[in-house]
Structure 1
Amino acid sequence: MNPSASGWIDKFGHLVKDYHDLYDNFDELYAHLKNIGFIYGINVSIPEFIHPEHPLSEDEKAKINLLTALYFTYRQKSKTVTFSSFLEEIFEFYNQLGINKISFLNKILTGKKTSSQLEKLIESRIYLDDNVISKNFNSIITNSLLYIDVLTFKNYLELKTDPKKHAEKLEYITINIIYHTLSSKQKNKNDAKLAQLFESSLTFIDSTQDSFDGTYRSKLINNFTPRENSYFLDVACLTVWEDQSLEYKESEFIFSIGKDLGIPSKQILKSLEDVAVFFEKNTLQIPHLKNNNLAMQFYDSMSKIVNKLILRNSKRLQKELSESKELVALLSKSTVKDLTEEEKKKVQKQLLDIFKSIPSLAIFILPGGAVLLPIFIKLIPKLLPSAFDDNRVDE
């Protein structure tokens, strides 16, 4: 399954049909979503029943996890529902939520098929904005409050209330808890990044207009479901966590918030332990903890983009490269020694000619696209025939 290509939702429906009873209840689903990072807004993995052909980017994992969470939330409503009825329901839900701004061009390209239009809606929920340049330069590109969609959808299924108003309430409480948790503890270098990440993910409220004076605390008592309260607590635990320090376990603020939410001390300790274990296992995969300079951020982001393009077009590239033995020889040479200026120009010209024949690689032929060629050349060896690569070690 390729979440970056059209038809991925239908493919998900085909794969999930043998796993309808994967979770016995909503609590099991929540525990799994927390384990893979979706609850924390940091998607480090996906459900085991999905086996992608290529390594997935963080945004692709977020797409799969959001759809998984929504689908199995719907399954809790009735064990006899069909995937097509789920698509209709979730599409109507997002329409009522106001997440239905598909451009006229996209409507023409996707047609009237529900799953195709839903792919565009979900994509609009995943990214913080639609600015391609911003995505390329920013290593944090995915919405970190996606679980609010799931909680709102559950409320919508059970009570048929206005989903937008409920989403606004959930966002308001969540962002207030984040800000007040940050102010309750000693600041560290990652706090600003975490706050920026969550604030950038807001959809239904304006953080510049809403007040964060602590009055939200009175709204916590008996106004939300136990599952919503668990989410608020986990977000607070995520925010108070400090570089694997033991001090977070003694946070008076967390236990005070937990008390307001009506959560027992034992569950609060479990939530604190869960976030500590998650960070300990996945620190290297968490974007906002990386402190690279701008140059390194750019290089890392570009490498991910180019790597994804190579993987997605590997068969076409192999075919095109096989027809240009001189280019393959020069690319192979570039992996072990520097090319002359004349050879570099020859490689660039021939590569751009190949990219013109593969539409999804058009990024390379845009103005400034040549800056990506060194990254492409570094990542390309695995595609080259072994006869042209004397230093290849087969794994």
Structure 2
Amino acid sequence: MINPSANGWIKRFFTELNLSVKPAQDRELFYDSLRKMGIVYGHAISLPAEEIQLVAKISHDELSKICLLYSHFQVYRLLKLSDDTTDFSTQLTAFYNQLYGNRSTILKKVLPESDVFEELEEILEERIQTNENIFSRNFSHVITNALLFQDVLAFGQFIRRNEIPENYLRKVEEVAVQIVLRALQTRSIPTPYDELIIKVFESSVRYAKIKTDNRELLESLPLSYFDAPLEKYYLLDLAALALFHEDEAQPIEIQFMEDLAVDLGFEKSVGVHFLKSAHAFLNTHRASIPYLNYKNPVKHFYDHAATNVSQLIVRNKSRLQKELSNNKDLLKLLTDSTVRSLDEKEKKKVKKQLLEICKTIPSLTIFLLPGGSLLLPLLVKFIPQLLPSTFNENLD
């Protein structure tokens, strides 16, 4: 099974990936296979291949890393007609080093000849993050890196030309943002989603600035700069994302998509097709896409933290059970906490002994960080699930 948060996950990914399934040569079918993962819309919602087994309760960030890696690899296979995973990893690492500059990391200093797979793991970990700070990411449920797919397009350019065209990502981002804003401005009546969509792009941009009062016309955008089908499909999908709402598309929205399709060199019907496809996808997965749902920031923080703690417990279940079985006093207090409230002295004892256990399990050292002790009540909440049923009178 693959754990995308542990070292060596990329090698394991390629070991389990079924390479006998070749990417579609038809560009629209190929693009549609990537779109189904959700990465095109900025939120990965499904695994890239059914035969890949992952650890339990995979997080959104972990799924994003896998989908980004998979998308890059599929573009490599499509353009290179090769399944060489070592060459692919070497080229993708070179691509990111050219894109963001060679990064001098602790890993490189300690191990100058570090494994290219390990270096790539570190790069992808950094890349899926947004430009928001940690506080904002924890409290805002709309934060997501909506422009990750731009990397995939740029990597395709890198493979074809052995370099990234000058200012390529800047141009893609600027045009993408302008198309999204122009699409939003077609609405006669703003919808509740408009502000959320703008927030998503504000958290994702690295070069462009979001100016909601900008009314750039399609004719003035450098759409002729984009000649690859995947680039054009992506711009159509971003426009369709901006036009999402519960009701049927309005005539003015359909007209906008038709005009955009024509300006990109397609028939009008292609714009309508992308609008319908995007809205079908977003409606199907709406419940799992945070920026299409409204949620109180504090509740989101609690839900997010609870999910993370639950993942840590599931993945370290056997270690925790072993440590707990060796600490009879703590085990008794945790068992008592399921049927009564502990007093202050008992709570301090539980906190101290739990932190001692966290020191022995690397994955749980997050609880030792500043502020990490605030998550201990969640740890206590989920631990009783590990206890034998004989310790819980509620299960008698």
- Name whichever of 277-286 and 40-49 sits farther off: 277-286
Distance 2:122 2:106 in 1: 12
Q: CA deviation at 1:37?
A: 0.8
CA 129–221 in structure 1, closer or farther in 2 if over 3 Å, else same:
closer
Amino acid aligned to 1:351 = L
TM-score with structure 1 length normalisation?
0.89
Query: Gaps (5+ residues) in structure 2?
Result: none
Q: CA deviation at 1:390?
A: 4.2
1:267-323 CA distance string (max 9 Å, x none): 323222222222222222111233222321221221122223223322221211121
Q: CA deviation at 1:106?
A: 4.3
Match of 2:42 in 1: 41
1:345-389 CA distance string (max 9 Å, x none): 232222122112223322323343322122112222332223223
Match of 1:341 in 2: 344
1:178-204 CA distance string (max 9 Å, x none): 11111221322222221121122123x
Query: Gaps (5+ residues) in structure 1?
Result: none
CA 208–234 in structure 1, closer or farther in 2 if over 3 Å, else same:
closer
- Name whichever of 378-387 and 114-123 sits farther off: 378-387
Structure 1 counterpart of 2:297, from 294, 302, 311: 294
The 5 A counterparts of 1:70-89 are: 70-89=72-91
Distance 1:250 1:381 in 2: 56
Alignment partner of 1:198 is 2:166? no
Match of 2:93 in 1: 91
1:66-96 CA distance string (max 9 Å, x none): 1001111111123344111111111111122
Amino acid aligned to 1:313 = N
CA 288–322 in structure 1, closer or farther in 2 if over 3 Å, else same:
same
Match of 2:19 in 1: 19
Amino acid aligned to 1:98 = Y
Distance 2:197 2:6 in 1: 30
Match of 2:7 in 1: 6
Matched-pair contact (CA < 8 Å) for 2:130–2:204: yes
CA 249–11 in structure 1, closer or farther in 2 if over 3 Å, else same:
farther
Q: CA deviation at 1:149?
A: 0.8
1:124-159 CA distance string (max 9 Å, x none): 210014844444334345421111111111122223
The 5 A counterparts of 1:10-159 are: 10-16=11-17, 18-25=18-25, 26-47=27-48, 48-98=50-100, 100-102=102-104, 104-108=105-109, 112-129=114-131, 131-159=133-161
CA 320–239 in structure 1, closer or farther in 2 if over 3 Å, else same:
same
The 5 A counterparts of 1:215-226 are: 217-218=219-220, 219-221=222-224, 223-226=226-229
- Name whichever of 209-218 and 297-306 sits farther off: 209-218
CA 329–277 in structure 1, closer or farther in 2 if over 3 Å, else same:
farther
Distance 2:227 2:395 in 1: 58
RMSD (CA atoms): 2.6
The SS at the match of 1:54 is: coil
Distance 1:99 1:11 in 2: 27
Distance 1:209 1:236 in 2: 16
Match of 1:376 in 2: 379
Distance 1:372 1:355 in 2: 12
Q: CA deviation at 1:392?
A: 5.3
1:27-77 CA distance string (max 9 Å, x none): 333212211211111111112221102121111111000100111111112
CA 296–210 in structure 1, closer or farther in 2 if over 3 Å, else same:
closer
Amino acid aligned to 2:4 = P
TM-score with structure 2 length normalisation?
0.89
Amino acid aligned to 1:41 = G
CA 116–60 in structure 1, closer or farther in 2 if over 3 Å, else same:
same
Q: CA deviation at 1:241?
A: 0.7
Counting aligned pairs with the same residue, the percent is: 35
Distance 1:337 1:163 in 2: 65
The SS at the match of 2:167 is: helix
1:163-219 CA distance string (max 9 Å, x none): 45222221111111111111221322222221121122123x231699944156342
Match of 2:281 in 1: 278
Distance 1:19 1:391 in 2: 50
Amino acid aligned to 2:73 = Y
Structure 2 counterpart of 1:326, from 324, 329, 332: 329
CA 153–210 in structure 1, closer or farther in 2 if over 3 Å, else same:
farther
Matched-pair contact (CA < 8 Å) for 1:330–1:343: yes
Distance 2:15 2:250 in 1: 43
